[in-house]
Structures are given as C-alpha cells and as structure tokens.
Amino acid sequence: MNFLQAFKPIGLDLLATIFFVTVYWLSGSIVLATASGVAAGVARYAYMKYRKQQIGPLQYVSIVLVVLSGVTTLVTNDPHFVQVKSSIIAAAVGILMLRTNWMEPYLPPIVKANLDPRIILWASHGWGILLLSLAITNAVVAFVFSFNIWAWYSLVVPTSAQLLAFAIQYAIFRTLIRRNIRARMAAQPAQ
C-alpha cells in the first residue's frame, strides 16, 4: 500500500470542505459556497451508495450534519452553523477514537503481523487526541476570528495536521515493520 492510496479516505472525507472553501474564495459568497459544499457531500454519499461501498455510522452522521448545517446556514444566513459542523464531527470522531482501537480493523495484514498491538492502540488514540484538538481549535477560530480567517484555517490547518500526522505514522509503521521483518529473518537458522 503506497502513501497516496492509504491517504485517499482522509482526502475524500475533506471533499465537501475543499469545495466549500474553494467556492467561497473564488466567489466571496457564503450562500454559493455552502450550496457547493452540501452538493459535494451529497454527491460523495450518492457515489458511495451507487458503487455499493460500505458507509460507516460516522459517514452517515457526517452527511446528515453537512446537510443540516448547510440548510440552516442558508435559511438563517448565519455561517456559524457551517463553521461549527467541523468541530462537531471532529469531536465525535475524536471521542470514538479515544474509546476504541478503531485503527486495527483497517490495517493490512502485514501491519498487524509485524507491529505490537500496543503501538497500533497508541496510534489510534493519538488520532483521537489530534481530532479533539482540531475540534476545539476550529470552534475558537470560528467564533473569535473573521470568516475569511476561518475559511483559510479550515482548509489549511486540519488538512495539513492530518497529512503530517499520517506521514509520521506511515513512516514509523513502515520503519518498525521493516525492522521486525529483518530481525525475524536474521533469527531464522541458515539452511
């Protein structure tokens, strides 16, 4: 599994946010940006249903929040609903990640066979801490700073933080797996 293939699910989860912020930056219209973000979220959900891909509970919650916060923003003309949606989703996912070893079922067999389960659990919890931190920071930025600063923050900071965390985890896992495989091979008697 290469880095881009492994990162794809995170990138797809950010699709609605990327559309929202890009349209806002290009048009300056919160209404158009909100409608585009909701459309991107619904399109991704419809594509997954069409392809008969498994949709997890958090993905259902995410699409419901995208639609509800988008519609509420459009009806009330208050962008805080869209801004806080990211915090709600990140906090819910972060709490789930802290309570479970969520990562283990998604890992390929080579990882599970060559890493101590405690390392996988620590990585799972590390992601939970990261998402809770991003949820809190997003809420602060949404209510303290201008919409333009929040739009920049929401696209750049969470994406960058998750990319960096993923790259670090990928490098650590890969290094540990290679080391463990080499050690096992060296311990085998020569034939």
Indicate the pLDDT class of residue 74, thresholds 50, 70 and 90. Answer: confident
- Longest Cα separation, the chain: 75
Rounded distance between C-alpha atoms, residue 167 and residue 36, angstroms? 30
User: Tens of pLDDT along 105-146?
Assistant: 778 889 989 999 999 999 999 999 999 999 999 999 999 999
Domain boundaries, given as residue ranges, for the chain: 3-187
- The residue among 61, 123, 127, 68 whose CA lies nearest residue 89 is 61
